[in-house]
Structure 1
Amino acid sequence: MNIAMKKIQEKIVKKWAILCAIITQLGVMGCDDMNSIHQQYYDFGEGIYTGVVDSLKALSGYKKIRFDWEVNADPRITKTVIYWNKRTDSVVIDVSRTQSGRINLSYDLENLDEGTYTFEFITQDNQGHFSIPTELVVTVFGEFYIQSLRNRSVSAITKQLDGTMLIEWEPIASSTVQYVTVNYTVGGIEQSLRVENDEMQTVLTGLETDDVIGIVTTHLPENALEPLEAPVREYVLPKLEREINKSNFAIVALAGDNTSVNGDRNLARIWDGGTSNPNILHTVENAPGFDFPHRFTFDMGVQAELSRFRIWPRTDAGAFSGHSPRYFEIWATDQLTRPANDEAYWASDDWKNDWKLVGDHEILKPGTTEDQTAEWAAGWEYMVDDDSSRVRYIRLVIKNSNWQGSNCVNIGEITLWGDDL
């Protein structure tokens, strides 16, 4: 080969080398960030890397993570570097080798914002050699996750006859639930009670109606570093609710009350257990001196915090007909402050200033005959509009008019419920 030909070949080789270099560089620039990170380690050449981390695991906590990993027996390794947030954040953990072989390491990374992170673990030696990164994606818990946790459901809270409070629980709905804590205060002293998952009822002592308890459910999610608590849910403890004993009821005849009686069907008939004739209240129609509104008063015989009542019409009459009331009020008081014969007081509305209005109701007529028949037989139940004070005397005010439009009153029965302890 002559000298001229050899020079031509050298020029061609150089051009191809330049072209290849350009293509290689463009290829590198086209790689994603993680490949670029890896490339710097490949450029060192085979045999100069430190050993990669092994058995890398993470446990998530509230704004923190605990990492566990191993470094292999490579004696050159002196530290592990953890990178996150695209390498804008990092921490260096020294490797103190006191024995040969593999070493177990652990590190708690704290003060992290809630979210999902990609972490890189790289080992190093004192000569600047690195390992290839080992990556791990981890979710960090925070307030948003805490707010998503649910408390174990309560099916009912009831006050018992012995004064204790009974909590009835729904079955556990999540496998992450570990237990429930009930927090409350008795006599100014804070107390707590742990409720296990298999417990379906819990009895609390020393508490009263309107006291507040807090329920907190502790969860342990999969791969969690620590238990996490759901936001507290508060419950106001209820009254005892049982039927007020009708055997203690007694008629109270106050001035202005309609005391007319058709046959032996006086006011006491409305707590005798029957709703059809003759077990009904039946006044005398157009009795002299009595017109709407008609008033009737009785003594329950006990002080009670009323919660609800049910009233029945005369059920043997046709539905939504006859002398049964359509509009009525129910009043209550703990004591009678005026003599029963004080007509100026009881026959006017002055007495209402001293009593509590616990219900002002209109009985509504359903649209279908079937519904009318059913409601007439079942009666109507109402919650008591009251401030939880104790009462003893009940006054019914039957307002104009009844279903027939007559000046007469029929009532089948009344039942009251509340806390009479």
Structure 2
Amino acid sequence: MNVKIIKISLLCLAILSGIYLSACKKMDDSYKQFVEKGESIYIAKADSIKIYGGRNRVEVTWLLLSDPKVIRYKLYWNNRKDSLEKPVTKTGEVDTVKAMLTNIAEGTYFFDIYLYDKLGNSSIKSTKSGKVYGERFQSSLLTRAYRSITRSGTDVNVEWMFADSAVKQLDLQYTNTTGELKRVTVTDKKQSVTRLVGMPVNGSFRYRTVFEPEAKALDLFYTDYITVQLTL
């Protein structure tokens, strides 16, 4: 019985050893391009990539660690159908590289970044996905609706419906009782009521909704202004 257990244990150990060696071989293959004449050539890769989407444009940024060998980068997107190659200037510190891409079709992209030294040795690939916005996103936007409008003396209170998560603010305009054009900006999405001070009886106001498709987006998107005619 003990002999049988020992044989099974040895078999399991052999299988695990084979899996480990296979994994090591795959790792060695991944870094094979960085070994030349027995010496390892390591180029620092792009670090902490961030993608900022906008209207048919996108900004790709990353940190360039203090590797003095890096002299240029190449950025691929659109399944490597498009690319951008530029030199970089090192300062001896951790630098931030920014690449602005314009005239980009709306959609989701994967951005691949390689860094190179003067001999053409490259870093391993750094990849991050991001979105570019356009007419499809614009056409999907709906003006934030209001629930009710009530008067309180010379003022009017507008109660709003729930705000979409992408809503950044509301822009309102109206002419008050003294003939002055007033502009009101509502940036707090949790604010359910907006007071329009000095609203004439049976006056009117117009407003639009401003959208930010993602945090720190390059561009804001706006609905058309709509006019609300009051009967109070």
What is the TM-score normalised by the length of structure 1?
A: 0.41
Structure 1 counterpart of 2:217: 225
CA shift at 1:170, angstroms?
Answer: 2.5
2:141 to 149, 156, 181: 149
CA contact (8 A) 1:124 1:130 kept: yes
Task: Show the 5 A alignment for 1:236-251.
Answer: 236-240=228-232
CA spacing shift, 1:191–1:161, aligned 2, 3 Å: closer
Q: Which letter maps to 1:174?
A: D
CA spacing shift, 1:127–1:193, aligned 2, 3 Å: same
Q: Which letter maps to 2:217?
A: L
Percent identical: 26
Does 2:51 correspond to 1:61?
Answer: no
Please list every run of 5 or more consecutive structure 2 residues that lacks an aligned counterpart in the other structure.
Answer: 1-28
CA shift at 1:123, angstroms?
Answer: 0.4
Give secondary structure in 2 for the equivalent of 1:77: coil
CA contact (8 A) 1:155 1:169 kept: yes
CA spacing shift, 1:203–1:151, aligned 2, 3 Å: same
CA spacing shift, 1:127–1:196, aligned 2, 3 Å: closer
CA spacing shift, 1:195–1:223, aligned 2, 3 Å: closer
Higher RCO by CA contacts (8 Å cutoff, separation 6 or greater) = 2
Q: Which letter maps to 1:95?
A: V
Does 2:192 correspond to 1:192?
Answer: no
CA contact (8 A) 2:210 2:223 kept: no
Does 2:78 correspond to 1:88?
Answer: no
- Mapped to 2, the partners of 1:170 and 1:189 lie a distance apart of 24
CA shift at 1:208, angstroms?
Answer: 6.3
Count of residue pairs the alignment pairs up: 198
Task: Show the 5 A alignment for 1:209-358.
Answer: 209=202, 211=204, 213-226=205-218, 228-240=220-232
Structure 2 counterpart of 1:135: 127
CA shift at 1:129, angstroms?
Answer: 1.5
Q: Which letter maps to 1:195?
A: V
CA contact (8 A) 1:51 1:74 kept: yes
Structure 2 counterpart of 1:169: 159
**Greater strand share, structure number:** 2
CA contact (8 A) 2:55 2:219 kept: no
Aligned-pair Cα RMSD in Å: 3.2
CA spacing shift, 1:61–1:149, aligned 2, 3 Å: same
Structure 2 counterpart of 1:71: 64
CA spacing shift, 1:107–1:160, aligned 2, 3 Å: same
- Mapped to 1, the partners of 2:79 and 2:108 lie a distance apart of 13
CA contact (8 A) 1:157 1:237 kept: no
Q: Which letter maps to 2:87?
A: D
CA contact (8 A) 1:41 1:131 kept: no
Structure 2 counterpart of 1:183: 173
- Mapped to 2, the partners of 1:184 and 1:232 lie a distance apart of 16
Structure 2 counterpart of 1:284: none
Structure 1 counterpart of 2:44: 51
Please list every run of 5 or more consecutive structure 1 residues that lacks an aligned counterpart in the other structure.
Answer: 1-38, 241-421
CA shift at 1:143, angstroms?
Answer: 2.1
